């Protein structure tokens, strides 16, 4: 819900596009992966392996999240959830992140 709210806030503030937010919502509802398709995909994967042991943790970054974060910054809008999701995707590419190793060393 928070991600939808932030996303619509960014789209609303981007006056250059003259977007009809109702139309955007209906497109997402009826012809986009944003609907329950993500749940359908999750169910298919979990039916095969509930531990997801065969899945490598590396999340592709397509560019939309990065674009939305930059737009939010340019428009002086907060978009914490989208920013956190983008950062999580980028972190998935790191094998044993240096920052985690340093935190562990400091704690010990």
**Sequence ranges of the domains in the chain:** 2-107
Threshold 0.75, pTM exceeds: no
Q: What is the CA radius of gyration of the chain?
A: 18
CATH class of 2-107: mainly alpha
Q: What are phi and psi of 58, to 5 degrees?
A: -155, 110
Q: Output the pLDDT for position 36.
A: 60
Reading the block at residue 46, the tokens are 């979990």
Spatial distance between the Cα atoms of 81 and 100, rounded to a whole number of angstroms? 22
Reading the block at residue 37, the tokens are 């398709």
Please give the chain's pLDDT, 108 residues, in tens.
667 778 888 999 999 989 898 888 877 777 766 556 666 887 788 888 878 788 777 777 788 889 999 999 999 999 999 999 889 888 888 888 888 888 888 888
Residue ranges of alpha helices (H) inside 1-36 are: 2-13, 21-31
Spatial distance between the Cα atoms of 50 and 70, rounded to a whole number of angstroms? 36
């Amino acid at each position: 819900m928070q991600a939808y709210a932030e996303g619509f806030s960014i789209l609303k503030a981007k006056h250059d596009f003259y977007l009809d937010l109702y139309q955007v919502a209906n497109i997402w509802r009826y012809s986009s992966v944003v609907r329950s398709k993500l749940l359908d995909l999750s169910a298919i994967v979990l039916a095969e392996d509930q531990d997801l042991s065969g899945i490598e943790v590396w999340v592709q970054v397509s560019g939309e999240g990065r674009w939305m974060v930059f737009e939010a910054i340019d428009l002086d809008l907060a978009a914490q959830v989208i920013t956190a999701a983008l950062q999580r995707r980028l972190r998935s590419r790191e094998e044993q992140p240096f920052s985690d190793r340093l935190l562990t060393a400091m704690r010990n």
